[in-house]
A and B are shown apart, each in its own frame.
Chain A
Amino acid sequence: MSAGTIAAAVLTLAIFSFLYKENPFFRFAEHLLVGLSAGYFVVTGVQGILLPKVWEPLKSGDWLIVIPGALIIMILGRLTEKTRPLSRIPLALIVGAGAGLAIPAMLQARVLGQIKATIKPLDSISSVLILAGVIATLIYFFFSREHKGWWGKLATVGTWYLMIFFGATFGNTVMSRVSLLIGRLEFLLGDVLGLIK
């Protein structure tokens, strides 16, 4: 058995020990995960981004890279009180560009694309159910009119749709978490103990 397998098995058991109660083994494994993730991100960032996208263009005489390079350094200004205002310029650029890119893309995919899919011939039960669900749920989230009378009844139908959605999401969440447990037990019983053929 390799050292990696033994380390993974010990750390898995350390994390599982939390099911009994909080303990130093669990905390050690938890902090190790946070540290390793941060370290891995830094190494990946330096190797995959700083070297090919900043250092190599600079070496080959592409001086335009100095502008984004300066913005990177300005972000690091957050580290001291005196230089903190400098970091606002690149952050403003990131937020501005991000919002500019995100708003039309989200409108297109999440709103227009979905409305287009909702407005279609009512030639099947599912089409009718989808349209009814969209209208009833939108009514539930319309707060400028009191949910009373026929309006209130439609809003109640909207809550049924929401409850079905929450139930389906919870069921899928259970399935997802059980899958993770299956992965760990397959590792412990199979790779470590050799009990699974």
Chain B
Amino acid sequence: MKFSSRGVVFVGVFLSVAFPLLFPLHLPDKISPETERFKSLIDSLPSDAVVMISFDHEASTVAEVRPLAIALIRHLFSRNLRIIGLALFAEGTAIGNQVLTSIAKEYQKEYGRDWVFLGFRPQYQSTIIGMGENIQNVFPRDYRRRSTAELPLMAEVSNYSKIALVVSVADGDYAGYWVEYAHSRFGVPTAGLVTAVMMTAYLPYLNSGQLAGLVNGLKGAAEYERLLGRPDAAVRGMDAQSLAHLLIFALIVVGNIAYWWKRKR
């Protein structure tokens, strides 16, 4: 079988990712100021505060957003902060519920009192603005089909005025929608845990103070895990990430030299 140059790149990337997963290299990794700022933001919230987490992502990006969500929920529960979860993407619903349920179990948190998962609503504009008026009108029932009026946590929280922070775990534009419709209109602090591909789109919001915090993809999740002192899946993947980046960097350099050489001849 003749191997194409495309095939060589695929095999190279596969090996650069698989090898460090099997044999960890423990390469050094620096924590970014954005992740430190986000951790400080959560640490600054008063005990018992309520944080809203919106799972605004598809299943395809779960490898990147799940470690971010896990680190955040662990941080919140370890500080005894309470969580209201929801999803503005249908596919984020089951993933959000599964992650919240498993971490709540780990910290022995009670459903309805310490955390709630509201489920999915389409049409992000009306959902985000509607919750600014009354959350129970938008979500009369939670994901488990219970009446939200009967949940102790929801009895305390009628709209954003009792929400200390909204965090969008997003793989697209949704963290921006939270800025546009929740932060600008109702003044609720908003943060984003986003896939790396979206980072450059959101940095201006962070610099302008419209986003209170921002964490960048799997690398951000690894930094967050390190800051929490609980290395997990994201930290495990960082060696693979670094090695794959080195390979891609080398391929770009070699490709450009070859191109330059060919043109010269």
Name A residues whose Cβ lies closer than 8 Å to a Cβ of B.
Answer: 19-20, 37, 40-41, 44-45, 47-49, 52-53, 56, 98, 101-102, 105-106, 108-110, 113-114, 116-117, 130, 165, 168-169, 172-186, 189-190, 195-196
A114, A117, A169, A178, most chain B CB atoms within 10 A: A178
Q: Are B184 and A182 in contact (CB under 8 A)?
A: no
Asked whether any CB of chain A lies closer than 8 Å to the CB of B207, the reply is yes
Classify chain B's interface size. 35 or more
Separation of A20 and B14 alpha carbons in the complex (Å): 13
Given contacts A113-B208, A117-B207, A182-B17, contact A105 B218 (CB under 8 A): no
Q: At the interface, is chain A mostly helix, strand, loop or mixed?
A: helix
Q: A113 is contacted by which of B21, B59, B210 (Cβ under 8 Å)?
A: B210
Asked whether any CB of chain A lies closer than 8 Å to the CB of B168, the reply is no
Separation of A56 and B148 alpha carbons in the complex (Å): 14
Chain B residues lying within 8 Å of A175, measured Cβ to Cβ, are: 196-197, 217-219, 241, 245
Q: Are A45 and B208 in contact (CB under 8 A)?
A: no
Q: At the interface, is chain B mostly helix, strand, loop or mixed?
A: helix
Q: Are A186 and B219 in contact (CB under 8 A)?
A: no
Smallest CB separation, B110 vs chain A (Å): 23
Given contacts A56-B140, A105-B185, A113-B208, contact A182 B237 (CB under 8 A): yes
Chain B residues lying within 8 Å of A169, measured Cβ to Cβ, are: 197, 200-201
Q: Are B208 and A117 in contact (CB under 8 A)?
A: yes
Q: Are A45 and B122 in contact (CB under 8 A)?
A: yes
8 A Cβ contacts from B173-217 to A: 176, 179-181, 183-185, 195-201, 204-205, 207-210, 216-217
Chain B residues lying within 8 Å of A182, measured Cβ to Cβ, are: 17, 21, 63, 218, 237, 240-241
Separation of A116 and B204 alpha carbons in the complex (Å): 12
Q: Are A178 and B17 in contact (CB under 8 A)?
A: yes
Separation of A114 and B62 alpha carbons in the complex (Å): 31
Asked whether any CB of chain A lies closer than 8 Å to the CB of B72, the reply is no
Chain B residues lying within 8 Å of A41, measured Cβ to Cβ, are: 90
- Which 3 residue pairs of A and B lie closest in terms of their CB atoms, listed nearest first? A183-B63, A117-B208, A179-B218
Q: Are A44 and B90 in contact (CB under 8 A)?
A: yes
Name B residues whose Cβ lies closer than 8 Å to a Cβ of A.
Answer: 7, 10, 13-14, 17-18, 21-22, 59-64, 90-91, 93-94, 119-122, 125-126, 129, 140-141, 143, 145, 176, 179-181, 183-185, 195-201, 204-205, 207-210, 216-219, 233, 236-237, 240-241, 244-245, 248
Separation of A48 and B125 alpha carbons in the complex (Å): 17
Q: Are A176 and B245 in contact (CB under 8 A)?
A: no
Q: Are B121 and A48 in contact (CB under 8 A)?
A: yes
Q: Are B210 and A52 in contact (CB under 8 A)?
A: no
Q: Are A110 and B180 in contact (CB under 8 A)?
A: yes
Chain B residues lying within 8 Å of A98, measured Cβ to Cβ, are: 125
Smallest CB separation, B178 vs chain A (Å): 10
Smallest CB separation, A35 vs chain B (Å): 14
- Other A-B pairs, 18, CB within 8 Å; known A44-B90, A117-B208, A179-B241: A19-B10, A40-B91, A45-B122, A49-B122, A101-B126, A108-B184, A109-B176, A109-B179, A109-B180, A113-B205, A172-B197, A179-B196, A180-B61, A182-B218, A185-B240, A186-B236, A189-B18, A195-B22
Q: Are B63 and A101 in contact (CB under 8 A)?
A: no
Smallest CB separation, B123 vs chain A (Å): 8
Given contacts A117-B207, A179-B218, contact A172 B240 (CB under 8 A): no
